[in-house]
Amino acid sequence: MAIPLTKIIFPYNIHMQKTFPLKYHVPTPITGGQVPFLRLARREDRQQKSELDIKEAKDNNEEITIPKEPERKLADIWRDIHGVDDWDGMLDPLDPLLRSELIRYGEMVQACYDAFDFEPFSKYCGCCKYAPSEFFECLGMTQHGYQVNSYIHATYNINLPNIFQRSLRPDAWSHTANWIGYIAVSNDEMSAHLGQRDITIAWRGTKTKLEWIADFMYFLRPITLKKIPCPDPRVKVESGFLNLYTNKDQSSQICKRSAREHVLEEVRRLVSQYQNENLSITITGHSLGSALAILSAYDIAETGVDVMDDGQAVPICVFSFAGPRVGNTRFKERLAQLGVKVLRVVNIHDKIPEAPGLFLNEHIPPMLRKLGEASLWFYSHVGAELTLDHKSSPFLKETNDLACYHNLEAHLHLLDGYQGKGQRFVLTSGRDIALVNKQADFLKDHLLVPPNWQQHENKGLVRNNEGRWVQRERLNLGDYP
């Protein structure tokens, strides 16, 4: 009977390995499902070591803890979000909590556009569609955790054409005023989330397109000309913004007080009301509203209405979206001295942030800067800048429509996907991309989202008891706080 070769060779190998252990090695027999791959063993080394450590800890009756990356809470880093260190290290890559807060405040500005009555045949053209008490509820934004305290109105009798919308009806609510923003305060739940009672002022930009770009080239005027205090007479701001912020109309029930007077009085009242709590003041706006946000932030800090009874000043921060330049270099320096923090979110293809001061601005050579600063047209941006690029989004189409580049919803979409310079665009919050086309035509056609899809149902008309289509009567606007 033949003897298998393996039965002859294998015992011989065992004998030789025992006799000369360093020279001969007997491989482990291969059996099904037990292949000792070295790469698998290496991959499991750490896990096995961890299991051994846990077993040893159990034997010694020691407490077992598995280290985890600490979860950050918004309340713990709220001062960083608010710009205490000028957002150092938070913009590239973009900090996730900062991203979510920028989007949230941007949505609070977008609410101004969504609630604005833009219909010239409406008796209420130029005002807000909703009462302050129902503002966020009517817009489906109750999760934002704020309550509107008062509305801000501005008079349009300044030399800035196409900024305001007026009714064609003789019985219009007002012929000299437009609703331009609101002041809100975080509720108890949101305040606990933030670690602060947050006073937010949101300013709306223009609802017309971009015909008023030329008006940004208006000359600079000393800010003190409108009785805004300033220790430096060389501090100057754009005259159109200054007029809009300070003008009033004694013949109008709505605009007997200027936007400035209303903001200062309300902020003073709220700071006094909540002075026993941690407070923050966050001012936000888009386009023209961004300029008004920066101007009002300066005014609040300079006049001292942010100072509590104990002498502590409430931190002031501005989140600006697609904003133009507001003042000269002296204005920029004074704003920084007052401790006002400004973060500007811009699309590099948007032309609005380039004006005014298209040619005379902070980018001119130092040797020409002194000469430029002596002129009436030298402007300088303020604060830190977060630069976005709409061409990085795979959802947006190529277009020559400058209004799309400037659109606020497009900016919020870009914020959602921006990770950092040179990094791939990835949406992070699940925010609906259809919002981009709410008031624009910017999404690629294959996404099947119709352009300008947001509509005011029946242009605001309802059927009365007689079956006729009429405008719904609203609250007495003069009673709005």
Give the domain ranges of the chain.
77-476
393 is an active site residue: no
Is 77-476 in CATH node 3.30.930.10?
Answer: no
429 is catalytic: no
Question: What's the pLDDT tens digit per position in 35-76?
Answer: 333 333 333 344 444 444 444 544 544 443 434 445 789 999
The answer on pLDDT for 6 being more than 60 is no
CA atoms of 363 and 69, how far apart (whole Å): 42
Tell me the pLDDT tens digit for each residue of 219-262.
899 999 998 999 999 999 998 899 889 998 887 778 889 999 99
| Under 8 Å between Cβ of 129 and 116 | yes
> What pLDDT is recorded for position 281?
98
What local confidence, expressed as pLDDT, does residue 362 receive? 86
287 is catalytic: yes
- Asked whether residue 429 carries a pLDDT value surpassing 70, the answer given is yes
Flag whether pLDDT at 391 surpasses 90: yes
Question: Given CA atoms 375, 376, 382, 385 in this order, what sign does their dihedral have?
Answer: negative
Nearest Cα residue to 352 out of 149, 215, 167, 466: 215
Flag whether pLDDT at 207 surpasses 80. Answer: no
DSSP letters, 85-148, are: TTTTTTBTTBPHHHHHHHHHHHHHHHHHHHTB---TTSTTTTSBSS-GGGHHHHTT-GGG-EEE
- Both tokens of residue 63? 């407490």
pLDDT average, residue stretch 283-290? 96
pTM of the model: 0.82
Q: What does the pLDDT read at residue 66?
A: 39
Catalytic annotation, pick one of 381, 406, 411, 413: 406
Q: How far are the Cα atoms of 265, 282, 309 from residue 270, in angstroms, in the given order?
A: 9, 13, 13
29/36 Cα distance (integer angstroms): 10
Neighbours of 129 (CB within 10 A): 21
Question: Of 350, 381, 413, 416, which one is the catalytic site residue?
Answer: 350
CB 181 within 8 A of CB 112: yes
Cα angle 390-394-396, degrees, rounded to a multiple of 5 = 55
Residue 154 token pair: 């501005």
Residue 202 CA to residue 148 CA, distance in Å, equals 10
Extract the tokens encoding 415: 């914020």
Q: The dihedral of CA 245, 251, 255, 258: what is its sign?
A: positive
pLDDT given for residue 289 in this prediction: 95
- Amino acid identity of residue 444, one-letter, is K
Using omega within 30 degrees of 0 as the cis cutoff, is the peptide bond preceding 93 cis?
A: yes
Task: Grade residue 147 by pLDDT with cuts at 50, 70 and 90.
Answer: very high
- Token digits for 68? 């985890």
Note whether 437 and 451 are within 8 A (CB): yes
* Residue 326 pLDDT > 80: yes
From the candidates 150, 239, 287, 380, give the one annotated as an active-site residue. Answer: 287
* pLDDT attached to residue 369: 73
Task: Write the pLDDT tens digit of every residue in 165-182.
Answer: 666 677 666 777 789 999
At 220, give phi and psi (nearest 5°).
-75, 145
Calpha distance 221→315 (Å, rounded): 27
Predicted local confidence at residue 476, as pLDDT:
57
Q: What is the CA radius of gyration of the chain?
A: 31
Question: pLDDT (tens digit, 9 = 90+) per residue, 85-106?
Answer: 999 999 999 999 999 999 999 9
Q: Which of 109, 84, 149 is nearest to 280 (CA)?
A: 84
